Amino acid sequence: MNLDFSPEDVAFRDEVRAFIASDYPADIRAKQDAGIDLDRDDYLAWHRVMAKKGWVAPGWPAEYGGPGLSDVQKFLLAEELAFADTAPILPFGLKMVAPVIYTFGTPEQKARWLPPTLAGDIWWCQGYSEPGAGSDLASLTTRAVREGDHYVVNGQKTWTTLAQYADWGFFLVRTDPTAKPQMGISFLLIDMKSPGVTVRPIITMDGRHEVNEVWLEDVRVPVENRIHNENEGWTCAKFLLAHERTNIANVAGSKRSLQKLRKIAEKEGIADDPGFAAKLAELEIDLLALEYTELRSLARQSSGRGPGPESSLLKIKGTEIQQRLTELTLEAVGPYGLPDARGLGNAGPVGPDYAGRAAPTYFNVRKTSIYGGSNEIQRNIIAKLVLGL
């Protein structure tokens, strides 16, 4: 594919830069500059600004509200948003469940859920993993028993990101316990305010409330909330996971992180250290290779095909690069990366501001090689689908 930027692409990139400069909310920027965590209202405010511009769902087909951008324009939009360090547009609705709905859903389901998802009126969460079913997702045990025009759902989900804010969730549930594992699963959309839904926080090693466990006790879900056929939810699950793995790669975000790392290395006086410089150069080469792979994946999707096995490659390399970035950042800040110096009798963390989150971020990013299907599972997928093993 031709990766040269045409005059139209350059003009689009300039338009994106000007839009961010003029329309990015000042209060959100102030929070970011002060190191204050963003909340639900912040994420939704930026989502709605992007929706009003028409760029919030660059991958959606035009018939459902997508902007009709080219592959290169999608790439440029993601890159400029990352370089400007804007708040992330959360993927659960726009990039995960929405493609399932517009691919497998009925006309009524599309009309009901796609417009509010696009507008930012629904906050979605994902109910896939369970205490005994993570990478081996097909072993999930959450049950949904049909009673007339409802399912009654019982079970537990875990690591449910930002479920404390969610209006709706998309859940994998077992509707036929006698079938082969993948054949007895259905894909349900569940109102998180339904009686019987309980969200309990899990505080991560960096001290943040990002993930949760979700309990479902006799939750009644209308059958009309099932996407695709009963017991064929695994088809939706695989489709969604392929999109999720492509997004997890987050090439634009890693490029931005690499820029930040170079600046930290310069401030710490180790940018010219031969050993450190070699690690940075190797990382940059790997990131460039990943970028081209992502562009090929975008081209595949624009031709009407979903993400293929390259999504597993993107997931593996993307998360490995993210982890290497945090490792090198921790190496660059040295002793200032101590997670919390208060235990040593000080009033708070020591060292420059950019070092304060180095250790917590390092610990948090350990998870990226596990969620979305562990990297070990992704290697098995590549061996089967690409190498024929």
| Cα–Cα distance measured from residue 199 to residue 207, given in angstroms and rounded to the nearest whole number | 18
Q: Is the Cβ–Cβ distance between 103 and 60 less than 8 Å?
A: no
Active-site entry in 244, 268, 310, 331: 244
| Cα–Cα distance measured from residue 365 to residue 379, given in angstroms and rounded to the nearest whole number | 20
φ/ψ of residue 111, rounded to 5: -65, -35
The DSSP letter of residue 200 is: E
| Cα–Cα distance measured from residue 284 to residue 321, given in angstroms and rounded to the nearest whole number | 9
- pLDDT for 343: 40
Pick the CATH number of 249-385 from 1.20.140.10, 3.30.70.1070, 3.90.1300.10, 1.10.286.10: 1.20.140.10
189: left (phi over 0), alpha (psi -120 to 50) or beta: beta
H-type helices in 36-70, by residue range? 40-53
Structure tokens that stand for 40 in this block: 């639900």
Query: Which residue is associated with the tokens 């490659």?
Result: 313
> Which residues partner with 202 through β-bridges?
211
Q: Which residues contact 72 (CB under 8 A, 6 or more apart)?
A: 3, 5, 6, 9, 295
How many Å from the N-terminal Cα to the C-terminal Cα in the chain? Answer: 29
Domain 7-89 listed as CATH 1.10.540.10: yes
Domain map (residue ranges) of the chain: 7-89, 124-231, 249-385
Query: Which residue is associated with the tokens 């975008």?
Result: 298
> Which residues partner with 173 through β-bridges?
186
Q: Is 327 a catalytic residue?
A: no
Q: Is the Cβ–Cβ distance between 187 and 233 less than 8 Å?
A: yes
pLDDT in single tens digits along all 389 residues of the chain: 455 678 999 999 999 999 999 999 999 999 998 888 899 999 999 999 999 999 999 989 999 999 999 888 988 999 999 999 999 999 999 999 999 999 999 999 999 999 999 999 999 999 999 999 887 888 999 999 999 999 999 999 999 999 999 999 999 999 999 999 899 999 999 999 999 999 999 998 777 899 999 999 999 999 999 999 999 999 999 898 877 777 788 888 999 999 999 999 999 999 999 999 999 999 999 999 998 888 777 666 666 666 667 788 889 999 999 999 999 999 999 988 876 543 444 445 567 888 888 888 898 899 889 887 888 888 988 888 777 76
- pLDDT for 341: 45
Domain 124-231 listed as CATH 3.40.470.10: no
Integer-rounded Cα radius of gyration of the chain: 22
- pLDDT for 305: 62
- Measured CA distances, 139 to 128, 170, 226 (Å): 11, 17, 20
- Measured CA distances, 38 to 41, 210, 356 (Å): 8, 11, 17
Q: Is the Cβ–Cβ distance between 314 and 249 less than 8 Å?
A: yes
| Cα–Cα distance measured from residue 28 to residue 85, given in angstroms and rounded to the nearest whole number | 11
